[in-house]
Amino acid sequence: MLLSKSCVYGLRASLFLASREQGEFIPIRTMSDKLEISFHFLTKILQQLTAEGILESFKGPNGGVRLTKPGSEVPLMDIVLAIDGSQLLTECALGLPGCGIKNPCPLHDKWAETRDAIREMLEHTTLTELVNKGKAENLRLTTEGGFDILFDD
Amino acid sequence: MLLSKSCVYGLRASLFLASREQGEFIPIRTMSDKLEISFHFLTKILQQLTAEGILESFKGPNGGVRLTKPGSEVPLMDIVLAIDGSQLLTECALGLPGCGIKNPCPLHDKWAETRDAIREMLEHTTLTELVNKGKAENLRLTTEGGFDILFDD
DNA sequence: GGTTATTGAGACTCCTTTGTCTTAAAATAA
DNA sequence: TTATTTTAAGACAAAGGAGTCTCAATAACC
Ligand code: SF4
Ligand code: SF4
């Protein structure tokens, strides 16, 4: 898989957060229920995002997590880097150790192109962009429901 | 990672085979030594390629494996499909189950573009193409050596 | 202060991928 | 026929990713 499961869950939760009013703390339990993700697992993932400064958290009643920046300033890349690290964009198609451009393998040129396409996509797509699209067309973030299910509290 | 380790090993071994004269059986032991891959592990991987008809094998002295077709007719895609399956090209960025274009997630359009770039690359690159490039520029297939190490028997 | 709601941290289990090992089957050669 | 070289098949172990559970820490509310 391109992205790990943790990463995908992190992205979905981030989209959820970006779809809410900024500044509002959302309990992880709410997200895990709506997004159909194990609560404890999602908690661990979001802790990583908090540690990276992408989210901030607040304990106790009315607590939860929220984005530290408006979703329009958060490219998908930030979340991918925080959870999966940079392997996808630095590591290589043939996985040869210690490889740079100095001593390339035959696949390098073609792979570099493809990899750049992936990088571009992740860097130039923001949470808000996807949220707007998702709201407009009622696209889905979960197995069954459309984007709107996130809002019938 | 984009490709599994098994898949990468399968690709490297296939490049090795494509670099030899067609029709020649190469013992797996020779490849595992040159490519620095565990013999038993590589054997299992190549068995998959044999089962898929990409390779054919011959037992006993002077036995080994070889490509069933000239390397110029084998796109990387064939090997990737045989080992990793079609997930990479059919499965989706957000990994929602049972997803097609009917009920897409917000990432679908962007991801579909990127995925097509990967598909194009794998479909339009053949083993022979990479071998020619590798021979011409002495590119590497292993940690240390250049392409030429494959030939000092 | 005590109870409740929430995140934080870590141990633990489960499953898949990766890798090793052993034995069988086939082909050759002496 | 017997020994040797090779692939085939499958059991097994090790490592990492995915997921569960428990307990502590913090904040709000009564
Ligand atoms: S040459 Fe490029 S694609 Fe090939 S192993 Fe090195 S960095 Fe990766
Ligand atoms: S909409 Fe497209 S990218 Fe999103 S989960 Fe479905 S198939 Fe995958």
- What is the rounded average pLDDT of the residues A86-108? 81
Task: Return the residue of A nearest to B107 by Cα.
Answer: A130
Out of 2.30.30.90, 1.10.10.10, 2.40.50.140, 1.20.1530.20, which CATH number does the structure's domain B5-85+127-146 have? 1.10.10.10
pLDDT of residue B138: 86
pLDDT of residue B150: 66
Residue whose tokens read 């979905």? A12
Q: Characterize the bridge pairing of strands A64-67 and A55-58.
A: antiparallel
- What is the rounded average pLDDT of the residues B112-139? 93
Q: Mean pLDDT over all residues of chain B? A: 91
**% residues pLDDT > 90 (chain A):** 71
| Domain spans of chain A, in order of start | 5-85+127-146
* pLDDT digits 0-9 by tens, A25-61: 999 999 999 999 999 999 999 999 999 999 999 999 9
Q: Would the pLDDT of B144 be above 80? A: no
In total, chain B counts a number of residues equal to: 153
Long-range pairs, A24-30, Cβ under 8 A, ≥24? A24/A66, A25/A57, A25/A58, A25/A62, A25/A63, A25/A64, A25/A65, A25/A66, A26/A64, A26/A65, A26/A66, A27/A63, A27/A64, A28/A64, A28/A65, A30/A64
Q: Which residue is nearest to nucleotide D20 (CA to C1')?
A: A40
* pLDDT digits 0-9 by tens, B61-103: 999 999 999 999 999 999 999 999 998 888 888 877 777 777 7
Interface test with chain B among A114, A116, A131, A148, by most B beta carbons within 10 Å: A114
Ligand 2, residues at Cβ distance < 6 Å: B 92-94, 96, 99, 104-105, 107-108, 111
Across the interface, whether the CB atoms of B142 and A96 are under 8 A apart is answered: yes
pLDDT of residue B54: 98
Q: Residue B128: pLDDT band by 50, 70, 90 thresholds?
A: very high
Q: Would the pLDDT of A152 be above 70? A: no
* pLDDT digits 0-9 by tens, B52-61: 999 999 999 9
Q: Residue A103: pLDDT band by 50, 70, 90 thresholds?
A: confident
pTM (2 d.p.): 0.92
Q: Residue A5: pLDDT band by 50, 70, 90 thresholds?
A: very high
